[in-house]
Amino acid sequence: MKPQQLTKPVWAATSSAMELGASRQGRSGRFGMVRAAGMKGLMLIGGAMTLAGCISVNAPDKPIVIELNINIKQEVVYRLAADAGNTIKDNPDIF
């Protein structure tokens, strides 16, 4: 379903863009005349892209939860091993 919807407007836009060069206004104006339905499709896609943009901007505001285990390095675990072993031995009531 999706590729079909995408192909139609892209085909129309590509040919007009090639003819008119870099002028954005001319391209969209001509495009609107050529096919109103294609314009609607573009607006929908544009709307979806705007929404996607909003989400990617808002995400960093929230605390990023990093998997705990990834942060712990093997060398630290090795360094703490002896002390941790003693702690377990010294607290047999809770281990």
- Residues forming contacts to another protein in the complex (CB under 8 A) are 68-69, 71-74, 76-81, 83-85, 87-88, 91-95
Q: Where are the alpha helices (DSSP H) in the chain?
A: 2-20, 24-34, 36-58, 68-71, 74-90
- Using the minimum distance from each CB to another protein, give the nearer residue, 49 or 72: 72
- Min CB(89)–another protein separation in Å: 9
- Nearest Cα neighbor of 12 from 21, 32, 22 is 32
- Using the minimum distance from each CB to another protein, give the nearer residue, 49 or 88: 88
- Min CB(69)–another protein separation in Å: 7
- Using the minimum distance from each CB to another protein, give the nearer residue, 65 or 68: 68
- Min CB(66)–another protein separation in Å: 11
Angle, vertex CA 52, rays to CA 70 and CA 48, nearest 5: 150
The token pair that represents 57 in the structure block: 């901007």
d(CA 48, CA 69) in angstroms, rounded, equals: 36
- Using the minimum distance from each CB to another protein, give the nearer residue, 61 or 93: 93
